[in-house]
Amino acid sequence: MKISKTHQNFADNLNDQRALEHPEEFLGPNWKELLNFWLYYETLSFEQLVIARRRYLSLDWSHRASMFDSAESAAINTTTEIISHHAYMSAPIGAAGTTWELIGVHKILEQGIPLTFVPLFLNL
């Protein structure tokens, strides 16, 4: 398995290198999607990151805040507060909300809430 810088940062910040070999034990049922996103994020060019940032800034502020809360809650309910915090803090700037959203994507979708942060990175 290829390990992204973010995945390595996550294991380092958690102070548990098992997170590299057994991410499913730490990141929940959507761990593959999250690890793939972290790898994908590292391939994005500066221009692509600018596009994603513009998309983010075009969202209504109250919607962004509400979705951050939903994503955080879903991530904590999927893993733990400590693991969710470390995943968030390990993520690159601009990818923290997406990290939480991917950890708890199943919980968000079960509530009938559409994803907000993941789509920012589509079709770049």
Please tell me the total number of residues recorded for the chain in this structure.
124
Asked if 103 and 78 touch (Cβ cutoff 8 Å), the reply is yes
59 located within any domain: yes
Query: How many structural domains is the chain composed of?
Result: 1
Per the prediction, the chain carries an average pLDDT of 96
**Whether the predicted pLDDT of 106 surpasses 90:** yes
22 located within any domain: no
Give CA–CA dist 103/57, Å, rounded: 22
117 located within any domain: yes
Summarize pLDDT for 65-77 with one digit per residue, the tens.
999 999 999 999 9
21 located within any domain: no
Summarize pLDDT for 30-57 with one digit per residue, the tens.
999 999 999 999 999 999 999 999 999 9
Q: What angle, 0 to 180 degrees and rounded to 10, lies between the N-to-C axes of helices 96-103 and 31-43? A: 160
96 located within any domain: yes
52 located within any domain: yes
- The predicted pLDDT at position 93 comes to 85
Q: Find the domain containing 92 and state its range.
A: 5-16+36-121
